[in-house]
Amino acid sequence: MDLIGLFPTWYEPAIGSGWVIGLIATIHVLFSHTAVGAAILFAVLAWIGARDNRPELIDFIKKYGLFLLVFSYILGSITGPGIWYSTTVGSPRGISALIHNFVWKWATEWVFFVIEVIGVYMLVYLAGKLERRTYMKVAVIFGLTSYTTMLAIVGILSFMMMPGRPEQWFAEGGYLYGFYGPNTFAQLMIRTAFMFTMTAVVGGIVAAGLKDEVFKRWLLKRLAIVGGLSAIVGMSLYPWYLGTLPSIAHLVMENRLPDYFTPSILIVLGAMLAYFAMTFFRPKLVTATVAGFATLAILVLGLWPGETVRESVRKPYIAGQYLYSNQVIGHDVPGMGVKSEIPTLEKVGFTHAHVFWPDSQKEITRENTMEVGRNLAITACSNCHSLSDTGIRPLKNYFPKQADVEGIRTYLLGALATGNTMYMPQIPLQDDEAEALAVFIASLNDPEAAEAYLDGETTALLDTSSREEDQ
Amino acid sequence: MDTAMLYALRDPLGIPAHPLIFLILGVATWALHIAAVHVLLGSSVLAIRGALSKDDHWRRLADAMVNTAKVAVSVAIVIGVAPLLFVQVIYDPFWYTSNVLSAWWVIGFIFILIVATLALFIFYALNHGLRTHKTRCPGSMILAVLLFLVVGFIMHALSVQMLEPDQWKEWYAPNGVIDASGRSIHAFDPWRFGFFIALSIPVIGIWLFGYRRYLQGRHEAGTGYLDFLKRMGTRLGAVGTLVALVLLVGWMRGLPEDIAGFATGIWPIAAAAALIVAAAFPVLLGRRLDRGLWGYTPILVATVAMIVIATMREAVRWVTLSGVHGYNPLDYKITMDWYSTGLFFLTFGVLGGAVVTYLLTVAWQAGQTEGTYTPSRAVNRIGTAGIVLLLLWIAQYFGFGLWTAYA
């Protein structure tokens, strides 16, 4: 039987599943990066506090830790699995690829999560109870453990773009070649830098509330230095990161990113540096509200575009440069025993290969054409293209309003089915499938014309003899 | 949905170790997760009951239970990550399908859980010292419990939908028309859901014995309060076990015809027996309950009982998917990866073991100590070993990583 393991598709017409995933992921990045940066900051402060006998530093850890407990360890630990949940429903085979490659890495990271959660509670609730050196030891364990969670996840994020060593992974498979590559380390360094930037900004919310003015000034100045330097280091690492991306990612960046992207990122960086300069020179101006706005600005103007770009430049793949964003396996991976599903689709089409395809629509008729076209669009297109007027990259906007069914069908069979459209997956379609999809796409801009086409004499439908012969 | 279709949905990458390992880890971590959920639900309800009472014992209990619930929600969430991971490894065809078919509920789960947890923390923040202060905003804790039940129900429904592959195509395309909205909950079993929720009653009862022993170590609670806890724990254990057993019988009686024989097999009996033993154990201990560390043993026995119950839950899945639908999770393709497998078990057993032992020992001993706590030399050594192991872990990460990336 020629089956491919496509799951049902979740299609969300208003904003699209991609944006739901992106929204949750972006929020999680803020929580998690802040948590890791703060944990390392805690370790340093606890060390200074123990060495110099400065109880006010321990008090700060307690206050920031309590804030962090909710901000990062509650919300962060919900949105973390939340990314799993959202990708499970938005891209089940995408998350499956990551899980099946890196299940042990995630399990290892889970061990560190458990330690982290115990650690943060101890830092908050046993401050002043533990003698100084023990408290410092707990803080050091907490800091090191938090950083290992970043180490554990970054290779998986990198694999979403491409395997660490693509040639070796495709040929030999294995965890190491999938996880580690130049992109892994470039991404790790950038994330490490920006993690401190976020920590410095979020830390300002708590520091602003400190009563002891002398200590508050001391702390805010150091947060400003940490934040400013890490922002500069992070940006200066960007060319290294770009150099590790595959050529297709550069192509997408050159052609697909909006013109305002680079200037806006530079403006955000400039604004952050200005904020840190203000924190350093005029710490009195830093209030919880101001620091809160700065956090929001990082989230909306920094993290969201950054995550959007990371998402865009790996198209047409969703993971490992073998799995297309529409869930179809587009390339063989001999090292892992994975076969491309393109030949199966070329042979029998989605209607016969898709496990969940309704039996009543396996044969395309004039009556069910529109419905089959809609189902094909949901299956093969909706992961990246909204089928409505709103949401992510509306499909209708990619075809001229006056495009007729025949023209669309010709494009689908000539360019899309053969894999000759830049940053689009190869989507093999049988002749009748292409026609059904073309009718549906045409209906998005002009429903009446599509209906008229179906009512007319010129359809090329119902000719499924060639496929039957193949079978 | 025939067997070939189910197998087609498997990830062709395979898995990096024998599937039995993932099966066992899945059951064990789920047992710990659900135990934490039970403590969360039980402590939250006791906190509400106590916060609305004027009785001194009840208010003191409420004060302690708010703190318990606050920690339990973190523990439940963080431990819950593990079974969520392992179910995707060997049951991916079932888990992913079930989730996609109810996608909006899956997304809703995240946001409802966030609101529930924040509501709990709001109650905690507003009610420091319930013993002596007036209760503020009990509605937030009630809301938290209700929303926790909602997220529990969503997880329950996803687990039940997994077991009905015969229905999947009809759910996805009713009458042949695809419904990709993911807005429906398609299947649930109130008896099964009720059973797992009702277990919160005996579990929190048993938990109270551990709390009682902890207070005995601190020498700060009078016998009146300790007796109150003992009575409460015993009563909750007995009543809760009875309620849970009734619901278990209801669940077993309602099993589908093709696995109806499971109800009279060994697993439901083992689960019921384990539950009864766990609830009765503190009573069976008699006076030993107040000697040495015996006061903590009911929690250990309850943990074993939860593992037996989790195994029964897994057995239901097994007989359904393997027995009825022909899907055998143990014949998953293995793409063995020794490095990542070995690294996990070393991290889990050696590093995790050392660090968690150190942290929990320090936390527990500090709680039993008046004034500043200073650990013994032996405890300190475990902590130092933990830090060395963490540094070694980071060193091997960069060692293997840089060698792989650039060699």
Summarised one tens digit per residue, pLDDT across range B284-293 is 999 999 998 9
Percent of chain B at pLDDT > 70 equals 100
Q: Which chain B residue is nearest to residue A14, measuring alpha carbons?
A: B181
Among B341, B375, B400, whose Cβ lies nearest the Cβ of A176? B400
Query: What average pLDDT score do residues B165-174 get?
Result: 96
Contact B8 A3 (CB under 8 A): yes
Between CA A291 and CA A435 the distance in angstroms is 56
User: Which chain B residues contact residue A375 at CB under 8 A?
Assistant: 178
Q: How confident is the model at residue A206 (pLDDT cuts 50, 70, 90)?
A: confident
Among B33, B73, B178, B358, the residue to mutate for chain A (most A Cβ within 10 A) = B178
According to the model, what pLDDT value does residue B334 have? 97
Contact B372 A129 (CB under 8 A): yes
Percent of chain A at pLDDT > 90 equals 57
Beta bridge partners of A338: A333
The CATH number that domain A17-324 falls under is 1.20.1630
Contact B335 A79 (CB under 8 A): no
Handedness of CA A235, A237, A240, A242 (dihedral sign): negative
Handedness of CA B360, B361, B364, B369 (dihedral sign): negative
Query: What average pLDDT score do residues A385-408 get?
Result: 90
Between CA A316 and CA B331 the distance in angstroms is 32
According to the model, what pLDDT value does residue A16 have? 81
Three-class DSSP category at B254: coil
According to the model, what pLDDT value does residue A466 have? 45
Between CA B75 and CA B360 the distance in angstroms is 13
Between CA A463 and CA A185 the distance in angstroms is 54
Residue A12, CA atoms < 13 Å, CB-side half-sphere: 23
Contact A358 B404 (CB under 8 A): no
Record the tokens describing residue A449, joined without a space.
């014309």
Residue A462 has pLDDT above 70, yes or no: no
User: Which chain A residues contact residue B358 at CB under 8 A?
Assistant: 141
Distance from B307 to chain A by nearest Cα, in Å? 20
Which amino acid does the sequence have at A277?
A
According to the model, what pLDDT value does residue A307 have? 77
Query: What average pLDDT score do residues B252-278 get?
Result: 97
Closest CA to A205 of A293, A76, A123: A293
Among B96, B117, B348, the residue to mutate for chain A (most A Cβ within 10 A) = B96
Residue B193 has pLDDT above 60, yes or no: yes
Contact B359 A118 (CB under 8 A): yes
Contact partners, residue B270, CB within 8 Å, separation at least 6: B308, B311, B312
Q: Of chain A residues 93-122, which have a CB less than 8 A from chain B?
A: 93, 95-97, 99-108, 110-115, 117-119, 121-122
Among A165, A175, A356, whose Cβ lies nearest the Cβ of B16? A175
Percent of chain B at pLDDT > 90 equals 95
According to the model, what pLDDT value does residue B267 have? 97
According to the model, what pLDDT value does residue A449 have? 86
Record the tokens describing residue A361, joined without a space.
């629509």
The CATH number that domain A344-470 falls under is 1.10.760.10
Query: What average pLDDT score do residues A142-168 get?
Result: 95
Between CA B345 and CA B336 the distance in angstroms is 15
Q: Which chain B residue is nearest to residue A114, measuring alpha carbons?
A: B78
Residue A285 has pLDDT above 50, yes or no: yes
According to the model, what pLDDT value does residue A457 have? 62
According to the model, what pLDDT value does residue A468 have? 47
Q: Of chain A residues 360-419, which have a CB less than 8 A from chain B?
A: 360-361, 371, 374-375, 378, 382
Between CA B343 and CA B231 the distance in angstroms is 47
According to the model, what pLDDT value does residue A471 have? 43
Alpha helix segments (H runs only) across B102-177: 103-126, 138-162, 165-172
Closest CA to B369 of A133, A130, A136, A121: A130
Contact A129 B109 (CB under 8 A): no
Between CA A389 and CA A92 the distance in angstroms is 25
> A300 vs A21, which has greater pLDDT?
A21
Closest CA to A31 of A89, A87, A81: A81
Angle ∠(B97,B99,B100) on CA atoms, nearest 5: 65
Q: Where are the domains of chain B?
A: 3-330, 337-407
According to the model, what pLDDT value does residue A464 have? 46
Distance from A144 to chain B by nearest Cα, in Å? 7
User: Which chain B residues contact residue A354 at CB under 8 A?
Assistant: none
Among B73, B359, B398, the residue to mutate for chain A (most A Cβ within 10 A) = B359
Percent of chain A at pLDDT > 70 equals 97
Q: Lowest-confidence range among A71-80, A366-375, B228-237?
A: A71-80
Residue A205 has pLDDT above 80, yes or no: yes
Residue A18 has pLDDT above 90, yes or no: no
Q: Beta-carbon neighbour count of residue B268 at 10 Å?
A: 21
Distance from B386 to chain A by nearest Cα, in Å? 8
Residue A470 has pLDDT above 50, yes or no: no
> A17 vs B215, which has greater pLDDT?
B215
Between CA B199 and CA B149 the distance in angstroms is 13
Distance from B384 to chain A by nearest Cα, in Å? 8
Query: What average pLDDT score do residues B160-172 get?
Result: 97
Given a contact cutoff of 8 angstroms between Cβ atoms, the answer to whether B141 and B135 are in contact is no
Contact B344 A104 (CB under 8 A): yes
Report pTM. 0.94
For CATH 1.20.1630, the residue range(s) in chain A are 17-324
Contact partners, residue A376, CB within 8 Å, separation at least 6: A350, A429, A433, A436, A437, A440
Distance from B403 to chain A by nearest Cα, in Å? 9
Among A96, A141, A359, whose Cβ lies nearest the Cβ of B88? A96
Among A10, A130, A148, whose Cβ lies nearest the Cβ of B182? A10
Average pLDDT of the residues of chain A = 89
Given a contact cutoff of 8 angstroms between Cβ atoms, the answer to whether A207 and A215 are in contact is no
According to the model, what pLDDT value does residue A67 have? 79
User: Which chain B residues contact residue A361 at CB under 8 A?
Assistant: 176
Cα separations in angstroms, B300 against B33, B190, B303: 15, 29, 5
According to the model, what pLDDT value does residue A116 have? 92
According to the model, what pLDDT value does residue A46 have? 84
Beta bridge partners of A323: A319, A329
Q: SS3 string of chain A? A: CCCECCCCCCCCCCCCHHHHHHHHHHHHHHHHHHHHHHHHHHHHHHHHHHHHCCHHHHHHHHHHHHHHHHHHHHHHHHHHHHHHHHHHHHCHHHHHHHHHHHHHHHHHHHHHHHHHHHHHHHHHHCCCCECHHHHHHHHHHHHHHHHHHHHHHHHHHHHHHCCCCHHHHHHHCCHHHHHCCHHHHHHHHHHHHHHHHHHHHHHHHHHCCCCCHHHHHHHHHHHHHHHHHHHHHHHHCHHHHHHCCCHHHHHHHHHHCCCCHHHHHHHHHHHHHHHHHHHHHCHHHCCHHHHHHHHHHHHHHHHHHHHHHHHHCCCCEEECCCEECCCCECCCEHHHCECCCHHHHHHHCHHHHECCCCHHHCCCCCCCHHHHHHHHHHHHCCCCCCCCCCCCCCHHHHCCCCCCHHHHHHHHHHHHCCCCCCCCCCCCCCHHHHHHHHHHHHHHHCHHHHHHHHHCCCCCCCCCHHHHHHC
Q: Which of the 8 DSSP states describes residue B332?
A: P
User: Which chain A residues contact residue B15 at CB under 8 A?
Assistant: 100, 103
According to the model, what pLDDT value does residue A469 have? 47
User: Which chain A residues contact residue B356 at CB under 8 A?
Assistant: 114-115, 118
Average pLDDT of the residues of chain B = 96
According to the model, what pLDDT value does residue A458 have? 58
Query: What average pLDDT score do residues A412-416 get?
Result: 94
Residue A417 has pLDDT above 90, yes or no: yes
Q: How confident is the model at residue A434 (pLDDT cuts 50, 70, 90)?
A: very high
DSSP string across B179-235: -----------HHHHHHHHHTHHHHHHHHHHHHHHHHHHHT-S-HHHHHHHHHHHHH
For CATH 1.10.760.10, the residue range(s) in chain A are 344-470
Q: How confident is the model at residue A53 (pLDDT cuts 50, 70, 90)?
A: confident
User: Which chain B residues contact residue A107 at CB under 8 A?
Assistant: 25, 82, 85-86, 344, 348
Between CA A74 and CA B124 the distance in angstroms is 14
Given a contact cutoff of 8 angstroms between Cβ atoms, the answer to whether A370 and A207 are in contact is no
User: Which chain A residues contact residue B352 at CB under 8 A?
Assistant: 111, 114-115
Q: Of chain A residues 208-227, which have a CB less than 8 A from chain B?
A: none
What's the pLDDT tens digit per position in B63-72? 999 999 999 9
